[in-house]
Amino acid sequence: MKKLIFAIPFILVACSTSEPTENKIEPTIDLQEVTAEVIPEVELVLQDFPEELAELEDEFTQFELPLTINQEFIDSIDGTVLSATQFQYLTQNFEPIKEYDDYYLEKSTEMYDLKKKGTYEDYTSSLDIGQLRDAEGYSFGKINLDTAIIVLWTIEYGSFEACPFYSGSELFATTIQNDSVVKCIQLADFNSGGDPPAFGETYTDVVLSELLELKGKQIDQSFEDDKMESSDTLLIDYSLKW
């Protein structure tokens, strides 16, 4: 064993006098076969009016962009009431812009549930002042885009017919693409109510542009004996893009 140990240095010296050899590491992967992962694109097709609303298609007025939305615009259409199923379809993927945007969505759902269960008449027969009498959805309009449709619809609501009283209309936009609801938002709010001599109202004045940008304002005002007590303005700047 000792002879083997002392012989090793001489072998190493002899090797050092020869030309150095290059150690090559052969790749274990064929680089020509490595390709980036391909993410399939979603094919967008021309969107037809949704089957879920087909029986009411003629009740949705055709509109073009840009669209000015104000009290006069809301008053120009008398829609047809939506069924509970149609209402549920349109309210999918709701995205609030402002606080309380979903309040009457929830109240309308409650009213639809009462009617479905057959207990709505019992509910209205026991109403007290200031309580909600009804809230339900109505058809309004539609806007055709290249690969999507924006369905416009409203919620109409009102209280028991006694002081204090209130009523209002809210305009919503539901965007449908590839036969699926991708977004639902509230576009405008119009309401009024009071307990004389006090009175208040809310109204919206916005424009929905060709770029699907919603810009304008919402104004809340309160009065006492026909004298304005306060006026608050909320600026609206929102994109409907998805």
Distance between CA atoms of residues 113 and 89, nearest Å: 15
| Predicted model pTM | 0.81
187 with 65: CB under 8 angstroms?
no
Calculate ∠ Cα 64-67-72, nearest 5°.
Answer: 120
169 with 186: CB under 8 angstroms?
no
Of 26, 20, 25, 67, the residue nearest 173 (C-alpha)? 67
CA distances from residue 142 to 53, 61, 176 in whole angstroms, order as listed: 12, 6, 11
Q: What is the pLDDT of residues 44-92, one digit of tens each?
A: 567 899 999 999 999 999 999 999 999 999 999 999 999 999 999 999 9
Q: Is 72 exposed, middle or buried (0-12, 13-18, 19+ CB in 10 A)?
A: exposed
Domain boundaries, the chain: 51-196
Q: What is the pLDDT of residues 144-184, one digit of tens each?
A: 998 999 999 999 999 998 889 999 999 999 999 999 999 99
